[in-house]
Chains A and B, each alone.
Chain A
């Protein structure tokens, strides 16, 4: 048996139409902009207590509005490549996007204003949207005959998502007046957060990286023990967190349950990505790497701050941890991947069919290095301001963070739209 994970050869299955993943990607900056505006409006709430209504709304705008919307859109594109299977019912993709987008807005509004009706709508819309996406995606993934760690990682991520959504729905329905919050609410909520941010997002981004990093950056594939360790540790945490969510344990109990996944996702996986990127076969300048390096640097901090947050009752560490995980480790990675994958998709779907008759820009020219660098720089700046604001408890800095987050959202929208516009506009007609 080989000691390294084999590279998947690209499947012949055709991906979805361009607008399926792209419309999901376009929703992400809107959610980020809403988060930035909310930060500026309710800055005084945010720094006071960990679970202030505006903070809970912010977390869900980031987690659902940014990360989950991008991930669901990317799934339609990713599955044919890694699993050799189209997501059945891709024509429902725009309905999924609408339901998730409006559902996220309703949830954030409900959390911010403690509005029972909004919680009820959010639960219904998000459950429908996720169901229409999740069932066909799971069918495609579990029927796939491809036995690659990335495919196993995606399967595990879907199982984790079902668990996260189940816990989230129970809380949303209780807030809507349809049922009661669980007796062990604090543990239940912490398990929901750990499952979502660590097991689902962390596990999924790790699994995708085993395929994407060697393919896009021409690095060595991971040795087999990396996916084996990450998958088994993440699965262990998923089971432990599911059990913990039914018990009443202190904060450190949740941390212990989450620890295997935390070690895998925030220590082992970034160490492999760093090693792989340092050994790139073609070491040319590539601004999309800044986001990867940012995420690698932030990952061990997520582990350290997460440990502190679990052992303290002070409101600051959990806020800093949330920022580092959502906007740092996962956010930087997703932003970086968008700036890499969107030009590729635009070139493939919009430029390539015109190449024989028109001179078109290359994928590298669709989004220039300096634009990607500026986007990554703004992202890192906003993260640093956010962390300092949370640590200092400064309302003014929290507002500055809101402004910075809004500018990243605006710039991300610019990056996506400018790549699309450049990709469909020929430079000249061939003679």
Chain B
């Protein structure tokens, strides 16, 4: 799918079929930049816990774990809202942030109108489109 100008990709690492998922995840976490966020897809048996784990929940047979080295931004869970509420919530939250601060939003699908508005506003953003169609957006003011 074509990207909005200025859009960067948020990284997702699929470790569901990895023979040593904990070890692979720790190696990846150790190499993270200070502002980098990565979402891991983990198998059911994996016991990995990251200090800064923001979220750990089921995604079908597997689990997801979002990790970052620094302080993780606030997460807005915007699944189950009628349009344009997710757009409004992200923009209102963004308005309250100081320049350089970030927010994370979890949405039911790739939010094309939101990304277009963010590009117009000059915000930087990273997007992760998940296999189930939902999306994770990290916006920096």
A binds B: yes
- Shortest B8–chain A CB gap in Å is 14
CA distance A321 to B11 in the complex (A): 57
Report whether over half of chain A's contact residues are helix, strand or loop; otherwise say mixed: loop
A10 contacts the other chain (CB 8 A): yes
Pairwise interchain contact A7-B109, C-beta atoms closer than 8 A? yes
B97 and chain A: residue at smallest CB distance: A356
- Shortest B95–chain A CB gap in Å is 5
Known: A7-B133, A9-B133, A356-B95. A282 touches B80 (CB 8 A): yes
Known: A12-B112, A12-B115, A281-B80. A348 touches B95 (CB 8 A): no
A352 contacts the other chain (CB 8 A): yes
> Binary interface profile of A, 350-366, with partner B (CB < 8 Å = 1, else 0)?
00110110000011000
With an 8 Å Cβ cutoff, the count of chain B residues facing the other chain is 28
B111 contacts the other chain (CB 8 A): yes
B20 contacts the other chain (CB 8 A): no
In-complex Cβ contact of A12 among B1, B120, B133 (8 A): B1
B113 contacts the other chain (CB 8 A): yes
Pairwise interchain contact A353-B121, C-beta atoms closer than 8 A? yes
Segment among A215-223, A250-258, A329-337 that sits at the interface with chain B: A215-223
CA distance A95 to B112 in the complex (A): 28
- Shortest A211–chain B CB gap in Å is 12
Chain A residues whose C-beta falls within 8 Å of the C-beta of B3 in the assembled complex: 12
> Binary interface profile of B, 87-116, with partner A (CB < 8 Å = 1, else 0)?
110011011000000000000011111011
Pairwise interchain contact B112-A430, C-beta atoms closer than 8 A? no
A217 and chain B: residue at smallest CB distance: B82
Known: A9-B133, A217-B82, A355-B95. A348 touches B112 (CB 8 A): no
A210 contacts the other chain (CB 8 A): no
- Shortest B46–chain A CB gap in Å is 29
Chain A residues whose C-beta falls within 8 Å of the C-beta of B109 in the assembled complex: 7, 9-10
> Binary interface profile of A, 23-42, with partner B (CB < 8 Å = 1, else 0)?
00000000000000000000
CA distance A9 to B110 in the complex (A): 6
> Binary interface profile of B, 12-32, with partner A (CB < 8 Å = 1, else 0)?
000000000000000000000
With an 8 Å Cβ cutoff, the count of chain A residues facing the other chain is 23
- Shortest A249–chain B CB gap in Å is 46
In-complex Cβ contact of B88 among A13, A218, A353, A362 (8 A): A362
Chain A residues whose C-beta falls within 8 Å of the C-beta of B117 in the assembled complex: 348, 352-353
Pairwise interchain contact A10-B113, C-beta atoms closer than 8 A? yes
B91 and chain A: residue at smallest CB distance: A355
B119 and chain A: residue at smallest CB distance: A14
A347 contacts the other chain (CB 8 A): yes
CA distance A392 to B111 in the complex (A): 52
Chain B residues whose C-beta falls within 8 Å of the C-beta of A356 in the assembled complex: 91, 94-95, 121, 141
Chain B residues whose C-beta falls within 8 Å of the C-beta of A363 in the assembled complex: 84-85, 88
A286 and chain B: residue at smallest CB distance: B82
B108 and chain A: residue at smallest CB distance: A7
- Shortest A141–chain B CB gap in Å is 18
- Shortest B132–chain A CB gap in Å is 11
- Shortest A376–chain B CB gap in Å is 18
CA distance A216 to B84 in the complex (A): 9
CA distance A326 to B11 in the complex (A): 51
CA distance A9 to B134 in the complex (A): 9
Chain B residues whose C-beta falls within 8 Å of the C-beta of A352 in the assembled complex: 87, 91, 117
In-complex Cβ contact of B95 among A11, A14, A353, A430 (8 A): A430
A266 contacts the other chain (CB 8 A): no
Pairwise interchain contact A353-B120, C-beta atoms closer than 8 A? yes
CA distance A149 to B88 in the complex (A): 30
CA distance A14 to B113 in the complex (A): 8
A344 contacts the other chain (CB 8 A): yes
- Shortest B79–chain A CB gap in Å is 10
CA distance A216 to B115 in the complex (A): 19
Listed residue (B81, B84, B115, B116) with the most chain A CB atoms within 10 angstroms of its CB = B84
Pairwise interchain contact A355-B113, C-beta atoms closer than 8 A? no
Chain B residues whose C-beta falls within 8 Å of the C-beta of A217 in the assembled complex: 82
B48 contacts the other chain (CB 8 A): no
Listed residue (B85, B88, B92, B94) with the most chain A CB atoms within 10 angstroms of its CB = B88
Q: Which residue numbers of B lie inside 8 Å of A, CB to CB?
A: 1-4, 80-85, 87-88, 91-92, 94-95, 109-113, 115-117, 120-121, 133, 141
Instruction: For the complex of A and B, list the 3 residue pairs with the smallest distance between their C-beta atoms, beginning with the closest.
Output: A10-B112, A355-B91, A9-B109
With A7-B109, A10-B109 given, name 8 new contacts (CB 8 A): A10-B110, A10-B112, A12-B112, A218-B80, A282-B82, A347-B87, A355-B91, A356-B91
Q: Which residue numbers of A lie inside 8 Å of B, CB to CB?
A: 7, 9-14, 215-218, 281-282, 344, 347-348, 352-353, 355-356, 362-363, 430
Give 22 CB contacts A-B under 8 Å.
Answer: A7-B133, A9-B109, A10-B109, A10-B113, A11-B112, A12-B1, A12-B112, A12-B115, A13-B112, A216-B82, A217-B82, A218-B81, A218-B82, A281-B80, A282-B82, A347-B87, A352-B87, A352-B117, A355-B121, A362-B85, A363-B88, A430-B95
